[in-house]
Amino acid sequence: MTEILGAAAAPDAVVKDATIETFEQDVVAASMAKPIVVDFWADWCGPCKQLAPALEKAVKAAGGKVDLVKVDIDKNQMLASQLRIQSIPTVYAFYQGRPVDGFQGALPESEIKAFIERLTALGGEAGEQSDPSEDYLNAGEAAFEEGDVAAAAQLFGQVAQADAANTRAIAGLARCHLALGDIEQAKLTLELAPPEAQKEPAFVSIKASIALAEDNPGGADIAALKAKAEASPDDLDARFELAGAYLSAGSMEPAIDELLAVIARDRDWNDAAARKKLLTVFEALGVAHPAAIRARRQLSSILFS
């Protein structure tokens, strides 16, 4: 970890071997931060031995902006099959979780250099000028937003492993555990942050999301609850239950609409349960979320009309 997240101004490139077990972390997740070159080779392959030193030289000359991962296809036949490697040497470049470039055969050194230069341009200038941990955190947040929770968790975890006090990594990792349904692990992860961080918006949001997850464990039949609520719009129990079902499914806006409907009919119903849950939803979303902004306006209109 220190060789990836160290504080040196111009970090060395990482060169490592990968297997089918580590490919997701070493290539897919790592490529969220910068381009990863993958060299598929075998010990019996003469052109592979010709390519390897030139490729490693070009990667190292990139000054940490690109890393190199080597995969022995004889030891990882299933992985080679999954990636449709038909001849070697084959070189793929991964960035942002997917293949973006590649070539087959032992290219001249000038072409290898041009290949690496394309990748450094793709990855930008982050390698020398920024804190690599920031790249990992940004990539983790992007992966989470795209729904790749596993990749996000690996990225946040790598930062947290290198810097146990990094509250952004802790918050991101906790959110990943919650998204994967592991509420207890999300709670334990939050406890790693110092007390002063617990009041930060990110931590308030995650705690509220945990509370919603615990109150709305899921498994309800949304279609049946929706039909019941539509058949009896004044059945506040049914509408509140429907809101909970939406929340358990991650459908925040329909849940907000049902909670507002309950409040509009009886703001004090069930000891103001709908209003209390709506406030928890606001905390989970954060003050800047468009759905929260809209709902706050609607709530104010209801309460002060």
For the chain, which domains are there? 2-124 (3.40.30.10), 132-209 (1.25.40.10), 222-303 (1.25.40.10)
With a cut of 60, say whether residue 281 has pLDDT above it: yes
pLDDT at 57: 94
Of 18, 30, 32, 48, the active-site residue reads 48
47-84 confidence digits (pLDDT tens) = 999 999 999 999 999 888 999 999 999 999 988 888 88
Question: DSSP characters for the chain?
Answer: -HHHH---SSPPPPEEE--TTTHIIIIIIGGGTS-EEEEEE-TT-HHHHHHHHHHHHHHHHTTTSSEEEEEETTT-HHHHHHTT--SSSEEEEEETTEEEEEEES---HHHHHHHHHHHHHHHTTHHHHS-HHHHHHHHHHHHHHTT-HHHHHHHHHHHHHH-TT-HHHHHHHHHHHHHTT-HHHHHHHHTTS-GGGGGSHHHHHHHHHHHHHHH------HHHHHHHHHH-TT-HHHHHHHHHHHHHTT-HHHHHHHHHHHHHH-TTHHHHHHHHHHHHHHHHH-TT-HHHHHHHHHHHHHHT-
Question: Mean pLDDT highest for which of 96-110, 125-139, 145-159, 226-240?
Answer: 226-240
Q: Which of 33, 45, 137, 212 is catalytic?
A: 45
Does residue 48 carry a catalytic annotation?
yes
pLDDT attached to residue 257: 96
Residue 83 confidence (pLDDT) = 85
Reported as a single tens digit per residue, the pLDDT across 246-257 is 998 889 999 999
Q: What percent of the chain has pLDDT over 70?
A: 92
Mean pLDDT of 142-164: 87
Asked if 176 is an active-site residue, the reply is no
Q: Average pLDDT, stretch 101-124?
A: 87
Mean pLDDT over all residues of the chain? 88
